Structures are given as structure tokens and as C-alpha cells.
Amino acid sequence: MQDRKKKRLKKTVRWLLVDIAVTCIILALLLYKPSGYRPPEVNPADHKKGQIHPYLTHLSAELYNNSQLERPFELVVLEGQINEAISFSDWPLESEGVKISEPVVLFIPEKIVLMGKANVKGAEFIVTIMVQPGVDQQGLLNLKMSKLKIGAMNVTPLAKVIAKKMYKDRLATGYIDTEDLRTKISGSLLTNEPFEPVFRIDDEKVRIDKITVEKGRLILRLVPH
């Protein structure tokens, strides 16, 4: 009888240790900080609330001036400069109880990597989203989310299911403008729905004809529409 109790106790302790080990591994994976995550250092004295970074002003001017010529042109977005510009925004942003801060954009061949800190009830994680943009033969743009990680843990399948449900629930409310470019971008990221990448610049319309992602830069080819 005593031997049976001892064996049962050993078995219980063994499974308890396994559970603790698994929990520790999961926590380590979730709290892992990717080596590529390096937010730009921001001097608060250089950043006034509501101030637009000069690089965004430069891109806007280049986009406007070229669109007025009514001919195809390329817009090149540089990784270092766009990260500095993003850091000028007012962070953190909060949505659904999650605070997002210190975002970083990485351009690698054929992919855009978005990284940032997510704070959930005091617990802080690094979230990584990998997007594979492309324009198909019909001229439709798709921003395919190929991977989503929390720390070092790949949660892509689960995240896609949850995101798709949340997106459809919001559309069902009827308060979202489905023709708004931001809604189309969200739909492409969350539900893999391509859309016509046309937008207005003053009195002109341009369409994204091609997207090329290289190491350190994003190249958009735009044509009159």
C-alpha cells in the first residue's frame, strides 16, 4: 500500500515538474526579444507633440509633385528614415486594452517586417508581423500576413482566425466605411482580401502598379489612374 502511494506521489511530482518546465519554456518564448528589434533613440527635446517628421514631408512633396506630371514614377521609402519618422508619432497607442509602443519597420527582400512592444495588463511582449506585399495580374494589391509572432512563439494560425472574426464582426456593425483605404488595408492584412490600390492626390489619382521590397528600402511604382 505504501509503495503504491509513493509511486503515485512520484508520478504526480513528475507531471508537476513537466507542467512547470513547459510553462517556463512558453514564458521564455513569449518574453523573448528578437535581435532585430532596435527602436530608434528619440530625444524628447527634438519632438514636439503633433510635429510631422521632415522625412514624411519630403515623401509627401515627392508624391505630390510626381503625381502632377501624369506619368509613371517611383517612390523610394528608406528604412532608417521611415523609422525615425514613425518614432515622432504619439506613442503608446491603446486598443482593446493593449498598449502598443516603440514600433519598428524592417525591409527585407520581398517582405515588410513590423515589430513593436505590446503591453497587456503590465506584461510586455515583442510582437512581430511579417507582411508579403504584391500586385497580382489583375492589378489588385494584397498585403499577405505571412507570420505573426509573440516573442519567439509563432501564433499565425490562431491570430488569423481571431483577426478574421474581429474584422467581420466590425463590418457587421455597419459603422465602417468599406471604401476607406484604411479599411481595405485592414481587410487585406486580416483576411487576405486583395483590393484596388488607387488613391487620390489633390486632383489626380494614382495607382500602385508594383511593389518591390529590398534590404533597407521599399520601392513603389505608381502610374496615373
* Tens-digit pLDDT profile for residues 22-55: 667 777 777 788 888 888 876 655 666 667 889 9
Distance of CA 5 to the CA centre of its chain: 53
Q: How confident is the model at residue 11 (pLDDT cuts 50, 70, 90)?
A: low
Cβ neighbours of 143 (radius 10 Å): 22
Most confident of 25-34, 101-110, 190-199: 101-110
Residue by residue, DSSP assigns 8-23 as: HHHHHHHHHHHHHHHH
**Which parts of the chain fold into alpha helices (H)?**
2-31, 54-67, 79-87, 156-173, 181-191
Selection from 74, 82, 95 nearest residue 40 by Cα? 82
Give the integer Cα–Cα distance in Å for 106 and 78: 10
When mean pLDDT is compared over 5-9, 30-34, 96-100, 151-155, the highest value belongs to 151-155
What ranges do the domains of the chain cover? Answer: 32-224
pTM for this predicted structure = 0.84
What is the Cα–Cα distance from 211 to 214, expressed in whole angstroms? 10
Mean pLDDT across the stretch 117-146?
Answer: 91
* Cα–Cα distance, 118 to 166 (Å, whole number): 19
Q: Which of 163, 161, 165, 195 is nearest to 180 (CA)?
A: 195
Question: Alpha-carbon distance 24 to 161, whole Å?
Answer: 26
Percent of the chain with pLDDT over 90: 40
- Contact at 8 Å (CB) between 220 and 81? no
**pLDDT average, residue stretch 6-17:** 67
The alpha helices in 89-197, defined as continuous H runs, are 156-173, 181-191
- What integer pLDDT is reported at residue 67 of this predicted model? 93
